[in-house]
Structure 1
């Protein structure tokens, strides 16, 4: 017997793809909103119905979500290389409001909104980020700003009677689609395949890393146990870049040589390259904003999710081992 009918955005993205498949495997009927109905990134399953639409188009959402009991909103614009704030605002803010409005009008019982740990800003010294931490610095980029604005919308609609839960994801890694947002997988491949790697010198920077299966499971736990109006940090273990490189090198048995270059020199060179990019149209894969985002302390605690959602963490070494095995195929 089929479970509830659920609506999912972002099913062609890293997290949304895995989430849609998990829901389908659990016998939910999944309505997946996709812009390109012929995309190879659409998860294929008998319980998944792809529906053409766009979070920026309210009417396409309203039609697709009708009859669904729950909604998972994972779609977002994440490309930090983009300088056009409208690209972030239209998808992350207006798109979120469209989903919330349609969910409210069609009597959806609960919305699970996938957000990011970065809305809290940096972690302070050695103190992990928690859900109660106030933001201590201005927004570093349009992604952080618009995701924070979207969270305010979620909470506003929750106060108006739409049950909603916010999940703040840390750096996600593990098997899945190759997308812009899974940088840890890219790093694993670089260490596996290259003889040397040039990196900025700030390798003591600490971030929180979460395995993709844990993220997916957290969404289902939030559906069942998440308290409306609450935010939950969904993370894993905290590690510095030094620790991360060491773990990956050990697990892959890599002999790679890692060359550290002064951070300010790297950033200065990127700023110069970025200016030239505007003239000569190079493909700058890393911009100063991307660099700063990658080298910001974001240690975090997910104790609230553990205690209230019964969330469980995959050990970092085990998650990395599974990731390496996946990437080695």
Structure 2
């Protein structure tokens, strides 16, 4: 088996590339910068310099491949330019889909996000059949949803595909924009005081990075075709998450709860000032809104059909804490 993998210098893609290679699967890794420090190195990984936004470079990388795993995406929620999201998440995805169809790829695996479903309805856990009940809160959610529609469009053209909707990922790995939980662990370890919104009863789903990698391997090897799977772990509130991390790290940090609206307005003012002096924003109000909505979910379908087995939050956070302690 030879797999074209996009996004191999990203948080999920990097570990996935090495996991594939260690299983003696040949990997064609499409990378923009061959000198990146995030390049996964292994004898079974062959680098192809290019970009998913450049169709010709995708064609060169896909030759000889039987399967495709598309993890590359633009995820910077602080970015206000929709073209950045659209070019990579939509146009780039269509380039990979078009090349996959051209070369009769046996299976196309698309790494998506749980957030395309939006918030849960009345805190009922999200499942694969839930329709979206709200408007899109940011360009990332919008363009990933558009990309999923493209995947389904190419199914009708004969391309077999699996979509994996991943919840909030955490665990050892590269430090990237999507490592929000890892950054939270580090802050709880290092700070004496953290200012947090008072909406700590909000529930989200958290999934360990190795479970996400394993889900891709299971999807690759399964007989499942043209399916969507939610890939998650445990559903917990922010309060439970904070307390668990604090206990595991033996932290003495104190949490100062601030009214959500006041904190949101404060971020708006701070970011406006930073914009005027040429600095990038910190957490924007839209990012805050995306973080503080209920998104519990269930992975029962993946458990039943892929034999997916998620790691408990306590064990996953313990491994994460040990990893971050080694880096500090």
Structure 1-normalised TM-score?
0.98
How far apart are residue 183 of structure 1 and its match? 0.3
Task: Quote the RMSD (CA, aligned, Å).
Answer: 0.8
Q: Indicate whether 1:26 and 2:23 are aligned.
A: yes
How far apart are residue 218 of structure 1 and its match? 0.2
CA distance, structure 2, for counterparts of residue 303 and residue 265 of structure 1: 38
Q: Indicate whether 1:90 and 2:93 are aligned.
A: no
The aligned runs of 1:143-292 (5 Å cut-off) are: 143-225=140-222, 227-292=224-289
CA contact (8 A) 2:275 2:281 kept: no
CA distance, structure 2, for counterparts of residue 296 and residue 229 of structure 1: 29
SS of 1:87's partner is helix
- 72, 76, 79: which is aligned to 1:79? 76
How far apart are residue 226 of structure 1 and its match? 5.7
CA contact (8 A) 2:5 2:30 kept: yes
Structure 2-normalised TM-score?
0.98
How far apart are residue 83 of structure 1 and its match? 0.6
Moved more, 291-300 or 168-177: 291-300
SS of 2:214's partner is helix
Deviations along 1:140-177, one digit per CA (max 9) or x if unpaired, are 01000000000000011011100000000000000000
Deviations along 1:167-195, one digit per CA (max 9) or x if unpaired, are 00000000000000010000000001111
Moved more, 217-226 or 254-263: 217-226
Structure 2 segments unaligned to the other structure (5+ residues): none
Q: Indicate whether 1:307 and 2:304 are aligned.
A: yes
CA distance, structure 2, for counterparts of residue 42 and residue 285 of structure 1: 28
CA contact (8 A) 1:11 1:33 kept: yes
CA distance, structure 2, for counterparts of residue 172 and residue 98 of structure 1: 26
Equivalenced residues, count = 326
CA distance, structure 1, for counterparts of residue 168 and residue 282 of structure 2: 19
CA distance, structure 2, for counterparts of residue 273 and residue 246 of structure 1: 28
SS of 2:162's partner is strand
SS of 1:64's partner is helix
CA distance, structure 2, for counterparts of residue 269 and residue 169 of structure 1: 31
> In the alignment, which residue of structure 2 is the partner of 1:14?
11
CA contact (8 A) 1:158 1:228 kept: no
How far apart are residue 124 of structure 1 and its match? 1.5
CA distance, structure 1, for counterparts of residue 3 and residue 11 of structure 2: 18
